[in-house]
Structure 1
Amino acid sequence: MNQLDRTDRPADTAHRAPGTDPLTLVVGVHLVVIDGGTVLLGRRRNTTYAAGLWHLPAGHMERGEPVTRSMTREAEEELGIAIAEDDLELVHTLHHLDADDGRSRLQLFFRSARYAGQVRNAEPHKCEELRWWPLDRLPDDIVPYTAHALGEIARGNRLSTVGWSA
């Protein structure tokens, strides 16, 4: 049993075995807006990741905010809509190992039965256009993990992984 110092951390971390440090995850939040069998996607632009590809309205958690606030903030920033945190439903969790940078990412996909405001492209400098796509005919130029997650959501699966060795 490790003795704890006054900050509740193990007293001696210098002798840890390689690879045993706590995992640091990047947490992404994604809004799945579905209407009549179609899903809202935006074509990314002027971004370092996936420029030119279709993706759900999404962003990252910021330090000091709960995941539900992250999602409502992103919905307001990207689509100009207000969603109450209590109205969010977590519909899928994807643990994604990013082949580009080797980082472990937890991607959370939310739906909301209601929102206030009119959906619009509130970030035209980051989103070339918004478009509704049939769930069974997604564009070819979509972020691959987005297509994966939407397929899993359509099948009712709440958890999946992508990029990990079998």
Structure 2
Amino acid sequence: MQQEPYRSTIDVHVILEREGEILLLERQGTGYCDGMFQPPSGHLEDGETVIQGAAREAREEVGVHIDPADLRLATVVHYRQRPELTRIGFFFATDRWVGEPYNAEPDECAKILWTDPAVLPSNTIDYPAAGVRAYLAGIPLTTYGWDEPASECR
């Protein structure tokens, strides 16, 4: 009997940088980690590259237009959310975009916050926080939740 191929959800995260700070969004009304912060992010859609997906998520969530050429790969996080669910998160960083970031999805976002990436709010979701920490440390690839069970909303 042939084993099924490994499958993982692909996520894209965008680290918008301005004057030493990054932009975070506070989740609300989604049923997942509401009240917690994360960078603009989402799932990769069928038929798009991770770079196109990152630019799309930034446009959908905070209303900015990013030329995909202005996105640089910051880090990759292989995250074990639960034993039966893993994710691969591509984190992109940029300090170039068109438009002023705003809360473009008020049904899913309570507010946006510019913050020092080295001192993330205590209620930042651990998975994206791991990506931001890896980026700041210059680590191109890291894992999270594999050595010990990960808390989904911590």
TM-score by length of 1: 0.84
Among candidates 15, 39, 58, match of residue 22 of structure 2: 39
1:10 is matched with none
**How many residue pairs align between the two structures?**
148
Distance 2:94 2:111 in 1: 22
- Percent identity over paired residues: 32
Does 2:74 match 1:91?
yes
Distance 2:84 2:114 in 1: 32
Task: Trace 1:11-160 onto structure 2 (pairs within 5 A).
Answer: 15-16=1-2, 20-99=3-82, 102-160=84-142
2:141 aligned partner, one-letter code: L
3-state secondary structure, aligned to 2:110: strand
Q: CA deviation at 1:118?
A: 1.2
Which structure exhibits the higher relative contact order, with contacts defined as CA atoms closer than 8 Å and separated by 6 or more residues? 2
Does 2:139 match 1:165?
no
Q: Is the 8 A contact 2:11 2:88 kept in 1?
A: yes
Distance 1:118 1:24 in 2: 37
Kindly report structure 1 stretches of 4+ aligned residues shifted beyond 6 Å.
Answer: none
Distance 1:158 1:67 in 2: 16
Higher strand share: 2
Structure 2, gaps ≥5 residues long: 149-154
TM-score by length of 2: 0.90
Q: CA RMSD in A?
A: 1.4
Distance 2:39 2:31 in 1: 16
Structure 1, gaps ≥5 residues long: 1-14
Q: CA deviation at 1:53?
A: 0.4
